[in-house]
Amino acid sequence: MNWSARTRAVNSGRRDGEGDPANVPITPASHLGLGYAREDGTDTWRAFEDAIGDLEGGHATAFASGMGAISAVFDLLPSGAEVVVPTDSYAGMRDMLGHAEASGRLRARRLDPRDTDAWLAAAGEADLLWLESPTNPSLFEMPIAEIARAAGAAPATGAAVGSDRRPIVAVDNTFATPLGQQPLSLGADVVMHSATKLIGGHSDLLLGVTVVATEQLAEQMRAARRRGGATPGALEAWLALRGMRTLPVRYAAVSATAAELAKRLGEHPAVVDVRYPSLGGGVLSFELVGAESADAFCAGLRLIRHATSLGGTESTLERRAARPSDAHVPAGAIRFSVGLEDPDDLWADITQALARLE
Ligand SMILES: Cc1ncc(COP(=O)(O)O)c(C=O)c1O
């Protein structure tokens, strides 16, 4: 049967042998007889990997964090390879690439995520196209299928990287989740998630994952984890799978609230710009006039937390331009991760904090 994503999120990764527990248990073990967890994985990791792999339509490998997963993808590249990244994208990834560039290991090219022509041109030249869609923090959307097509249709083989072949196309799908889009089905070779965010969904863990199109690439991901040592914690992998069971209902709920709040914010006289991705999701962004008003707004909130990170049950928001790594963002722009609270309560908090600015 062709079960829907909502049904598979609930059921994938369970073991259905006679007498198996409802949930794959937490396995706090460094060795499993002659097997070693960092080299061979554990059942707890595999249950999570099976479930997210099912939703994304590929082979999953879990890592200690999103950054651990990104690092494993960069590890596919030979020294001197060229990586193309969006100028607006997760700051930690840009920092990692900047470091690799400064030390001479990789070459970096930074393109505006909105400049599709530049991406299509780069697709013929680069070794790794790193896409993020929607981008963090500005929520720009990139045409994944079009860029993947320009990069060549054949399935990726990591072994071919650096020779006369096509680039690897990787997509950070943290904001969209597999409910919003499945990049492998759009032609990408690698999907990456910070499962710390919507997948885990409760702001109680750090975890990352890659999902790749071929078993060969999956083996390279596992090898990178083996070498790099960015292994998931047993509890974190278990919690992330528990969180994933409710991802479809949480995603639907935060998408509905975020769309409604984006609409109301767009009609508010104090708000100069609102961004909300066309494919939905729980993150929106809105702009007030200047850093001072935005800071005063954040300080005036009573319910929504002025906090970093996103994708939890609780609403959080942050003025990203306050961080040097995101200085390119408009000074008054606020990234808003919408949680599961009553939308009218969130709106009441927003309007009372905006009223204080007058
Ligand atoms: C889009 C995106 N990618 C990757 C990461 C890195 O993930 P982690 O913090 O789990 O290492 C983050 C974290 O904020 C993120 O927002």
- The residue contributing the CA closest to ligand 1 atom 6 is 66
> In ligand 1, which atom is closest to the CA atom of 135?
1
- The residue contributing the CA closest to ligand 1 atom 14 is 309
Structure-token match 């708000």, residue found = 271
Site to substitute for ligand 1 among 52, 90, 95, 285, most atoms within 8 A of C-beta:
90
User: What residues does 318 pair with on adjacent strands?
Assistant: 335
Provide the 3-class DSSP secondary structure of residue 351: helix
* One domain for residues 107 and 191: yes
CATH of the domain at 257: 3.90.1150.10
- Cα distances from 106 to residues 97, 240, 286, in angstroms, run 7, 32, 35
Cβ–ligand 1 contact at 311 (below 6 Å): no
Token digits for 106? 């990789």
Residue that finishes a domain, picked among 244, 265, 281: 244
Cβ–ligand 1 contact at 206 (below 6 Å): yes
- The residue contributing the CA closest to ligand 1 atom 15 is 90
The Cα–Cα gap between 64 and 353 comes to 37
The Cα–Cα gap between 313 and 337 comes to 9
| 333-337 sheet: strands from edge to edge | 273-275, 283-287, 333-337, 316-318, 305-306
Question: From ligand 1's centre to the CA of 310, what distance in Å?
Answer: 9
> In ligand 1, which atom is closest to the CA atom of 89?
1
The Cα–Cα gap between 267 and 273 comes to 10
* One domain for residues 216 and 109: yes
Cβ–ligand 1 contact at 136 (below 6 Å): yes
pLDDT at residue 163, rounded to an integer? 45
Are 276 and 258 contacting, i.e. CB atoms less than 8 angstroms apart?
yes
Number of neighbouring beta carbons within 10 Å of residue 232: 30
State the pairing for strand pair 128-132/168-172: parallel
User: What residues does 111 pair with on adjacent strands?
Assistant: 86
* One domain for residues 33 and 16: yes
pLDDT at residue 124, rounded to an integer? 87
In this prediction the pTM is 0.96
- The gap between the terminal CA atoms of the chain, to the nearest Å, is 58
Question: From ligand 1's centre to the CA of 53, what distance in Å?
Answer: 19
Provide the 3-class DSSP secondary structure of residue 92: helix
* One domain for residues 68 and 133: yes
Site to substitute for ligand 1 among 194, 205, 209, most atoms within 8 A of C-beta:
194
Residue that finishes a domain, picked among 244, 275, 294: 244
* One domain for residues 261 and 214: no
* One domain for residues 172 and 298: no
* One domain for residues 104 and 156: yes
Tens digit of each residue's pLDDT, the chain (358 residues): 899 999 999 999 999 999 999 999 999 999 999 999 999 999 999 999 999 999 999 999 999 999 999 999 999 999 999 999 999 999 999 999 999 999 999 999 999 999 999 999 999 889 999 999 999 999 999 999 999 999 994 444 444 444 457 899 999 999 999 999 999 999 999 999 999 999 999 999 999 999 999 999 999 999 999 999 999 999 999 999 999 999 999 999 999 999 999 999 999 999 999 999 999 999 999 999 999 999 999 999 999 999 999 999 999 999 999 999 999 999 999 999 999 999 999 999 999 999 999 8
Helix locations, the chain, DSSP H:
5-11, 37-40, 43-56, 66-74, 91-102, 116-122, 144-150, 177-180, 215-228, 234-244, 247-266, 290-300, 343-355
Nearest to 96 by CA among 123, 66, 140, 53: 66
Give me the domain span that covers residue 139.
5-244
Number of neighbouring beta carbons within 10 Å of residue 354: 19
Question: From ligand 1's centre to the CA of 172, what distance in Å?
Answer: 9
* One domain for residues 255 and 284: yes
Are 192 and 209 contacting, i.e. CB atoms less than 8 angstroms apart?
yes
Cβ–ligand 1 contact at 66 (below 6 Å): yes
The Cα–Cα gap between 202 and 99 comes to 31
* One domain for residues 285 and 342: yes
Provide the 3-class DSSP secondary structure of residue 109: strand
Question: From ligand 1's centre to the CA of 114, what distance in Å?
Answer: 21
Q: Count of domains in the chain? A: 2
Are 3 and 14 contacting, i.e. CB atoms less than 8 angstroms apart?
no
Cβ–ligand 1 contact at 172 (below 6 Å): yes
The Cα–Cα gap between 201 and 339 comes to 10
Sign of the CA dihedral running 65, 211, 11, 337: positive
CATH of the domain at 211: 3.40.640.10
* One domain for residues 240 and 258: no
Site to substitute for ligand 1 among 136, 141, 190, 209, most atoms within 8 A of C-beta:
136
* One domain for residues 236 and 317: no
> In ligand 1, which atom is closest to the CA atom of 309?
14
Number of neighbouring beta carbons within 10 Å of residue 2: 5
* One domain for residues 265 and 207: no
Residue that finishes a domain, picked among 208, 223, 244: 244
- The residue contributing the CA closest to ligand 1 atom 10 is 66
